[in-house]
A and B are shown apart, each in its own frame.
Chain A
Amino acid sequence: DAGVTQSPTHLIKTRGQQVTLRCSPKSGHDTVSWYQQALGQGPQFIFQYYEEEERQRGNFPDRFSGHQFPNYSSELNVNALLLGDSALYLCASSFGYGNSGANVLTFGAGSRLTVL
């Protein structure tokens, strides 16, 4: 049973460029969340998608945008890259979008973005 898969695993961009990261959720999961993990820090919530709509958003600028497709996969786009965007970007999936905070998130291995 495949877990959460992310691509690419590593990439290098320069300031001002744009990047797209991709995520396929665990089989049976329909909700996708994205987190940014800077070096030496805990992951920080970017946004969450369910039924192809952004349902929640963390404290990130509009340069960060996303999309969820009918097959539940998702993309994270970052425009006008800054040096500070260098981080590990983690995708997490879960099942259902009820009022339960007990939903367990399954994380992928991440995409490591370096901005030069």
Chain B
Amino acid sequence: AQSVTQLGSHVSVSEGALVLLRCNYSSSVPPYLFWYVQYPNQGLQLLLKYTSAATLVKGINGFEAEFKKSETSFHLTKPSAHMSDAAEYFCAVSDVVTGGGNKLTFGTGTQLKVEL
């Protein structure tokens, strides 16, 4: 079974600083990888996805992630944090089931705090 590990359940950065949220995956086949963001009392919103087209993936709100097969990593970055980035971030890997369909396996999440 595929899985993802998110290192650091809580990350705190200053406004304007680099944001780096870590995700490592375990997969026996080339994976599809996703980053979702969850704001308080809301559902999950897709930030970006990797589907093997390009290793550097750009998403919404200035976020990007780089797929590194040698490190089995898919870390999320943003050059300059904004107060509105404070939220919980989830990395997920897609399990493709024979015969169709897919399900997402999520990491345990990283709560990002942005301080003035």
A residues with a Cβ closer than 8 A to B are 4, 31, 33, 35, 40-45, 48, 50, 55-56, 58, 90, 92, 97-110
Q: Is the interface of B mostly helix, strand, loop or mixed?
A: strand
Q: Quick check: B95 and A101 within 8 Å, CB to CB?
A: yes
A90-B44 contact in complex given A101-B32, A102-B51, C-beta closer than 8 Å: yes
B61 within 8 A of A: no
Question: With A4-B43, A101-B96 given, is the CB distance from A48 to B106 under 8 Å?
Answer: no
Q: Interface on B for A, CB 8 Å cutoff?
A: 31-32, 34, 36, 41-46, 49, 51, 90, 92, 94-97, 99-109
A66 to chain B, nearest CB (A): 14
Contact status B101-A50, CB under 8 Å: yes
9 A-B pairs closest in CB distance: A42-B106, A101-B94, A101-B96, A107-B43, A101-B32, A107-B44, A102-B51, A101-B102, A45-B103
